[in-house]
């Protein structure tokens, strides 16, 4: 099916996204995996076969043909890139095997992100396929520090340790180390600061690998990937690695760019329509949330890609316009290039590649990265919770523009607590409960007192009498004199009730003091526990045994029929 025809169909019969809700596990060593891991091999096989026999046409070419080219190109790039990192063999792989993919930015992420790599590696083993991690080096750097727990003055608190002073807001692929000594000393600074663990973390081994590769070539992203792979190899995990920066240079991807550009107006219409439905579904008011619409500025139509150059590594939008004899590309800030319609019809990717080779970077935005990979490259994509929410929009575009049933994807994350040497006790009664008890005690101090003492019982009887008298006071049909006398009586009863409450408060003084102490202790325990049970510390801050237990949790999801076949 031609995407144009699919888009025409979508104008009258649009897909409606389904509202989903995923929640990260709250307990230690718990997994979230939907669909369940045990179902994965069967679903992967079904999806693999669907792709193989699909009759769909895209721009005059079958989906199978698009996928054959795109998969081969991506695998070749991934094999060679991976080989440059850790000297793995640069040997071609069978592109017809099931391809299980995941991806993330090349940062020091937490175990809940890292577990996606575990799932990819294990599912590749279970299906006889290939695991591939997509390194999203086209995304911008959001931070230069990592969170860790700090112990001092008898209490835990979260602090952050800077890795380097690299700039914020530029793409990872352009980021370089600014202060070499600070960068080299990161692991030592972190270990001196972090609250002690029951076992040594993997950080030292990881950072040695990072610094070793960085000293050789000065490439930060490659160094961070090398460190992660050192740990994963030690743990028996094997995946290929493919940066988005290399994916973006493959001929099939560049051809995909030109085809979308040639149909920019229709694609923009579908893209924005799907976004509007998503916002209505989730009752989002901001026109920029979760992402902005594609813009239109006169003849110029925005495409779902980023562009920048080596002189100014700030990401800008990509715009295109169609003229009588050509298709023009621009960032609307100085970069400009054109492709004739004849070249466009002839799939003249080398002309686009020549322009990009002049120091220009053309990269897909987040939605298009996973859309391209799910449709043209992988058989199975493993998302985190955030990525899965975005791909509800991707699914709508796949249906309404490409006219295909969206390939199934998996949502996976995990919660893993640091094994602190001096771990705080788990909260019992919550601080919220103590605050509520104190509020109740302000109005009814007797709730904190043991019944039976004579003076207490007298006060309670009198309190009850005063409250009942107030409720039963005459309110209607009173003369002016009676109202004046009633006001005086009301004031007298109110003062007496206040005196009763004050005496009850004095009697309950010790109990209130104890309750306040319990509230203080509960707040301290909860504050400590919040730091101890935080799930977003870098995965390399954990000891090997913790990560191995997480891998074992995933491995136990192996389908029963495969276990029996061994």
pLDDT at 83: 95
Give me the DSSP letters along 90-146.
-----TTS-EEEEEE-SS---HHHHHHHHHHHHHHHHHT-EEEEEE-TTSBP--SEE
Conformational region of residue 481, where left means phi above 0, alpha means psi within -120 to 50, and beta covers everything else? alpha
Q: Where are the alpha helices (DSSP H) in 326-453?
A: 341-345, 349-356, 366-376, 385-400, 431-443
Examine the pLDDT at 13 and tell me if it is beyond 50: no
The domain locations on the chain are 3-139+244-296+363-417+544-559, 431-532
pLDDT in tens, 300-320: 999 999 999 999 999 999 999
Q: What is the pTM of this model?
A: 0.88
54-64: per-residue pLDDT in tens? 989 998 899 99
Q: What is the pLDDT of residues 98-144, one digit of tens each?
A: 999 999 999 999 999 999 999 999 999 999 999 999 999 999 999 99
Q: Which residues pair with 224 in a beta bridge?
A: none
Q: What is the mean pLDDT of residues 224-248?
A: 98
Is the pLDDT at 2 greater than 60? The verdict is no
User: What token pair was written down for 114?
Assistant: 């890292």
Determine the Cα–Cα distance for residues 158 and 532; give it in Å rounded to an integer: 9
Q: Is the pLDDT of residue 343 over 90?
A: no
Given this model, what pLDDT does residue 8 score?
41
Nearest to 330 by CA among 307, 312, 352, 313: 307
Q: Is the pLDDT of residue 21 over 60?
A: yes
Residue 486 has pLDDT above 90, yes or no: no
Q: Which pLDDT does position 6 carry in this prediction?
A: 46
DSSP letter at 201?
B
The neighbour count for residue 258, using CB atoms within 10 Å, is 22
**Mean pLDDT score, 13-27:** 74
Residue corresponding to tokens 């081969």: 72
At 272-302, the pLDDT tens digits run 999 999 999 999 999 899 999 999 999 999 9
Average pLDDT, the chain: 91
- pLDDT at residue number 510: 81
């Amino acid at each position: 099916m031609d995407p144009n025809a699919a888009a025409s169909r979508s104008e009258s019969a649009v897909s409606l996204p389904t509202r989903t809700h995923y929640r990260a596990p709250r307990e230690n060593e718990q997994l979230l995996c939907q669909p369940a891991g045990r179902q994965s091999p069967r679903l992967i096989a079904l999806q693999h076969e669907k792709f193989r026999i699909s009759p769909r046409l895209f721009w005059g070419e079958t989906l199978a043909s698009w996928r054959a080219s795109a998969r081969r190109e991506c695998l070749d790039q991934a094999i060679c890139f991976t080989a440059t990192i850790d000297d793995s063999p640069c040997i071609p792989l069978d592109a017809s095997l099931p391809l299980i993919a995941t991806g993330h930015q090349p940062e020091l992420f937490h175990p809940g992100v890292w577990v996606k790599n575990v799932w990819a590696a294990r599912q590749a083993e279970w299906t006889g396929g290939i695991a591939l991690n997509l390194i999203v080096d086209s995304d911008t750097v959001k931070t230069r520090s990592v969170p860790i727990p700090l112990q001092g003055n008898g209490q835990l608190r979260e602090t952050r340790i800077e890795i380097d002073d690299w700039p914020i807001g530029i793409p990872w692929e352009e980021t370089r180390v600014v202060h070499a000594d600070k960068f080299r000393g990161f692991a030592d600074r972190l270990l001196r600061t972090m609250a002690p663990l029951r076992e040594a973390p993997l950080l030292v081994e990881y950072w040695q690998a990072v610094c070793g590769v960085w000293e050789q070539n000065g490439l930060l992203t490659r160094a961070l990937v090398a460190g992660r792979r050192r740990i994963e190899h030690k743990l028996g995990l094997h995946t290929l690695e493919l940066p988005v920066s290399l994916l973006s240079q493959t001929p099939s991807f560049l051809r995909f760019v030109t085809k979308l550009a040639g149909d920019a107006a229709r694609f923009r219409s579908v893209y924005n329509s799907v976004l509007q439905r998503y916002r209505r579904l989730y009752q989002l008011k901001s026109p920029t949330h979760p992402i902005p619409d594609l813009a239109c500025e006169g003849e110029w139509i925005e495409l779902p890609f980023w562009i920048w150059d080596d002189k100014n590594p700030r990401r800008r939008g990509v715009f295109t316009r169609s003229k009588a004899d050509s298709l023009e590309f621009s960032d609307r800030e100085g970069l400009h290039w054109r492709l004739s319609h004849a070249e466009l019809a002839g799939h003249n990717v080398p002309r686009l590649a020549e322009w990009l080779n002049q120091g220009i970077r053309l990269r897909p935005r987040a939605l298009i990265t996973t859309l391209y990979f799910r449709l043209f490259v992988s058989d199975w994509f493993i998302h985190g919770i955030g990525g899965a929410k975005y791909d509800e929009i991707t699914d709508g575009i796949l249906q309404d523009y490409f006219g295909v049933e969206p390939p199934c994807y998996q949502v996976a994350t995990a919660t893993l607590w640091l094994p602190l040497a001096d771990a705080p006790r788990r909260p019992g009664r919550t601080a919220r409960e103590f605050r509520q008890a104190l509020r109740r005690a302000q109005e009814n101090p007797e709730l904190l007192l043991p019944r039976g003492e004579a003076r207490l019982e007298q006060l309670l009887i009198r309190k009850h009498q005063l409250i009942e008298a107030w409720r039963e006071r005459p309110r209607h049909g009173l003369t002016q004199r009676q109202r004046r006398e009633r006001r005086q009586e009301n004031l007298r009863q109110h003062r007496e009730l206040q005196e009763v409450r004050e005496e009850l408060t004095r009697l309950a003084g010790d109990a209130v003091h104890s309750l306040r102490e319990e509230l203080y202790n509960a707040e301290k325990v909860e504050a400590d526990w919040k730091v101890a049970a935080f799930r977003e510390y870098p995965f390399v801050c954990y000891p090997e045994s913790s990560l191995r237990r997480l891998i074992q949790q995933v491995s136990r999801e192996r389908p029963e029929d495969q276990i029996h076949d061994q």
